[in-house]
Structure 1
């Protein structure tokens, strides 16, 4: 058996391990606020995430992926096929180990930034510091500030609108029946655009902004009408505020399903990109900076994500949903809405932002609506520290693993 065949076998196991860690850490983006606000139970979150993440990964997951993570490292670094394969294997394992460690401590970190850090490590150890495009890394560092800030501001504005137009009025339930469908429609519009631009492009539906907006508007109108009809029969059962939160509970569940599908579509290829690169090199014997992702590799990633959610997802879900601040369905919905809007705007502007960072910012923004005292500053400091460590830790670990794999293979 050739060494390349052995490496491929190991790469399949490591690729599954990476997808497992994405399920364990990243899926909390979709489910953390819904569980924290008691909109759904942890068991329900696992089931919803498993179904929609898998569907997103397999139906709309990228069929072509940038194995070298979007020009982070000069392509001329990758000249020797065997060195490339060993480097990608080291990058995949390093990113997986970092995510595993972060999940163990319940810290939500960025999958994309973990892979970026790993590829940076491979570039440095292969060809030196000059091989890395540091301006790209600068953009990522900038996103650590921009994305949480944008997410937080939008989430806070949305919650304040809900507060002023519904919660502070004389008959909040009657107000919610009229205004909540508008929020549902807006959410449908934003998430449809997100899906069209970030997910469905993988299905070769190359739509213009105008066409996508038209589809988004259609979805928004349909969802608005359905929710308006459903909410017509909702009546206050004593506690008006509890009834309003009950209405937003359903909005949160819809949002969570949508976000899980979009996450599966977007992030599974980030995870298995290096694996797809290894498979392509073993098959063809040559290196390409982009690689086709076979359906079975997407399915492997989808199954890995599902297993990760089911076995370890509760740790990061607990952090986002309960440890940062106390969430209610109205606050949870505001945070999800803020995060989804930020991700859409940023992806249209070509900014490299992390969904994780954006959602954490949105949760913090909603909490600040009640003052700094509503925030658990100790956990916020731990989360920010883990973000700062992600790229250097993944890079350093990749260097070590690369040298070990070179000795072995």
Structure 2
């Protein structure tokens, strides 16, 4: 069939395919290097460079096999033998629908499945063109089932590997010996899995499609053994020397830091962030319990104020700002063990021997001074906490997390189990820890406290009760410290898994290029083959230059807009460390590569998110931002119908508004 008159549709298809590849790069490529950036082993620029290389190579070497499923496995193309232009218009519509929804998701920083998008878009245009009879429903059921199986399988495998690593390496007092013994196995497994997958796929550029399976297995085993030997002979001794050198430097820096901390001038100690209340008697710990000095009776005023034993009167405007309890610097009978800011707000701190304390103390003090110098922004709004980890916990501890008082009358219901009674029978303080699931939930808590204070619905009536023992607040900080230990690798473990995670991220990017390039280029390949061959059967092999074209578009999207979803995958969903990142990368890559070789277009996004959540949950039950995960999960379900609607709308425009006049 002569299709020369439809060349304009091919040109439009190439333009839209590049936009689609751009959207895939902006969204899906975050799956590959998001964890590496989040753990700190590579910078964003380095991740973009490495991803550009390996995404392109993966698309050229592995992308052809999955592309066949996308082109011919979802709909029955033989139904379009007499209406070839309709099928060409459908391929263009599918690319438009998929690109639009992925760009919207990237703007919202939600990692969605490119496979979802292209499958939904393909079904959308087919139902407009010839109805439901054009859809191969059994193949669709197989694909849909893989969307649920892939995150569960990938998460289970990643969680199991992390459990083994934590038991044999991370939980040891000295993780270096076991870690060095395991390095050859880790490197050999990573190289072997990916080598077998590449060779079994039969990459046409390397001429590997003619090798028998036994030869591929033998070559893979030999390569893995060689890799393990090289790592044991060269990498392990070098890593042992590097770790020993790092420990010496850390010991020297710690000694210098301790000496410098002892030499802080008096005027610096009097700065707001260093100012301590009279009740703080320990120089090493700063907590916020009610001391024995605070057991004097406090009288409530009818107007909401409070009379202290020394006669000073606190009105509501003085004692509550943004929902925070305030106390004066000098108070004869009412004090706290802890610190207070220059505005009188009491807040927790951490142990002064902590390196994190020393680092954050200086940064936060500078930030406070900058805020006071440039305006009157609320104290609780100036800090930009990055993610739901101990950094958030400690920063909130040092800066001051508002404590929301809950007034209870004697006739009211008993307090909830998570409430902590601080003073008497009048006031219960919600035991909302300094730790929150995410920065967004922390901000919501601050906003709620501010609203309560502005509406005037909160009165603070302090009444000391000598019958109640004072309740120290050490537990809050102990939880923070415990979570910090669970969420961070020490320097030895960081060095052990540093390059290993980079290697697995590169292979993950390679696998992603092989699996997901078909999402961007599959419809374009179909469009080109239909135009070139004059029919719908698409029997020729996938042109390598088209795969390279898709790889270039993916890299462009990554460089321009990829940082948004990288932040979600690597930082916001759960804290990532090199050890956990290695488990996430290697097992999700294994799942994706096996599926690619089977010709099943599974979602690499589902595999990676499943691994991230599973490992994060095993590391710390509170580490996963479940609100964000819920939003991602909902986005997965609406992706297929939304992409299908966009595609159907464009297809209707072609069928009823453009093609009849061509």
- The answer to whether TM tops 0.5 is yes
Q: SS state of the match for residue 62, structure 1? A: helix
Going from structure 1 to structure 2, the CA distance change for 1:68 and 1:184 (only over 3 Å counts) comes to closer
Question: Is 2:195 aligned against 1:192?
Answer: yes
Contact 1:185 1:223 (8 Å CA) reproduced: yes
Given the alignment of the two structures, is residue 342 of structure 1 paired with residue 591 of structure 2, yes or no? yes
Q: Deviations over 1:67-104 (max 9, x none)?
A: 75442222333221111111110011111111111111
- In structure 1, C-alpha distance between the alignment counterparts of 2:641 and 2:112, rounded to whole Å: 13
1:408 equivalenced with 2:646 (yes/no):
no
Closer/same/farther in 2, CA of residues 181 and 145 from structure 1, 3 Å limit: same
Match of 2:237 among 217, 232, 235: 232
Give the deviation of 1:28 after TM superposition: 1.4
Counterpart residue number, 1:320: 569
CA distance in 1, matches of 2:70, 2:145: 21
Q: How much has 1:5 moved relative to structure 2?
A: 1.7
- Structure 1 stretch 330-339 or stretch 57-66: which is displaced more? 57-66
Deviation at 1:384, TM superposition (A): 0.9
> Deviation string for 1:332-363 (max 9, x for gaps)?
00111221232344456665521110111011
Separation in structure 2 between the aligned mates of residue 258 and residue 62 of structure 1, nearest angstrom:
18
Distance 1:199 1:101, change over 3 A: farther
Under a length normalisation based on structure 1, what TM-score does the superposition of the two structures give? 0.92
Q: Does 1:12 align with 2:261?
A: no
Q: State the match for 2:255 in structure 1.
A: none
Give the gaps of 5 or more residues in structure 1. Answer: none
**For 2:75, what is the secondary structure of its paired residue?**
coil
Asked if the contact 1:61–1:265 (Cα under 8 Å) also holds between the matched residues in 2, the reply is yes
Q: Name the counterpart of 1:258.
A: 507
Name whichever of 288-297 and 334-343 sits farther off. Answer: 288-297
Q: Calculate the aligned-residue CA RMSD, in Å.
A: 2.4
Which has the bigger relative contact order, CA under 8 A and spacing at least 6?
A: 1
Give the number of the structure whose residues are more often helix, by fraction.
Answer: 1
**8 Å CA contact 2:26, 2:106 repeated in 1:** yes
* 2:648 aligned with 1:399: yes
How big is the shift at 1:223? 2.2
In 2, the alpha carbon distance for the partners of 1:295 and 1:92 equals: 20
Q: Which moved more, 1:85-94 or 1:205-214?
A: 205-214
Alignment partner of 1:88 is 2:85: no
Q: Within the alignment, does 1:331 sit opposite 2:336 as a pair?
A: no
Return 173-182 or 29-38, whichever deviates more: 173-182
Aligned-pair CA distance for 1:374: 1.2
Structure 1 residues 242 and 249 mapped into 2: Cα distance closer, same or farther (>3 Å)?
same
Q: 1: distance between equivalents of 2:540 and 2:561? A: 30
Q: TM-score by structure 2 length?
A: 0.58
For 2:168, what is the secondary structure of its paired residue?
helix
Residue pair 2:65, 2:596 contacting (<8 A) in 1 also:
no
Evaluate the alpha carbon distance shift between residue 177 and residue 32 of structure 1 in structure 2; reply closer, same or farther with a 3 A threshold. same
Pair 124,339 (structure 1): closer, same or farther in 2 beyond 3 Å: same
**What is aligned with 1:384?**
633
- Secondary structure of the residue that 1:99 maps to in structure 2? helix
The aligned runs of 1:194-209 (5 Å cut-off) are 194-198=197-201, 200=203, 203-206=206-209, 207-209=211-213
Radius of gyration: which is bigger?
A: 2
Question: C-alpha deviations, 1:283-327, integer Å up to 9, x for none?
Answer: 333222455433432232121111111111111111111111001
- Write out per-residue CA displacement over residues 36-87 of structure 1, whole angstroms, 9 at most, x where no aligned residue: 1111111100010112212333455428942754422223332211111111
- Assess if the C-alpha contact under 8 Å between 2:16 and 2:96 holds in 1: yes
What is aligned with 1:107? Answer: 110
| CA drift at 1:163 | 0.9
Aligned residues: 409
User: CA separation of 1:198/1:2 partners in 2, compared to 1, >3 Å: closer, same or farther?
Assistant: closer
What secondary structure does 1:269 align onto? helix
Looking at structure 2, the residues matched to 195 and 363 of structure 1 have their Cα atoms a distance apart, in angstroms, of: 25
Distance 1:152 1:199 in 2: 28
Q: CA deviation at 1:215?
A: 2.2
Question: Which deviations, in whole Å up to 9, do the C-alpha atoms of 1:132-183 show, x marking residues without a partner?
Answer: 2222222223223211111111111111111111112232112211112211
CA contact (8 A) 2:20 2:99 kept: yes
User: Are the aligned partners of 1:91 and 1:118 in contact in 2 as well (CA < 8 Å)?
Assistant: yes
Equivalent runs, 1:168-317 vs 2, <5 Å: 168-198=171-201, 200=203, 203-206=206-209, 207-228=211-232, 229-233=234-238, 234=240, 235-236=243-244, 237-238=246-247, 241-290=490-539, 292-317=541-566
- C-alpha distance in 1, partners of 2:569/2:88? 36
Shift of 1:373: 1.4
Query: CA–CA distance in 2 between the matches of 1:181 and 1:221?
Result: 9
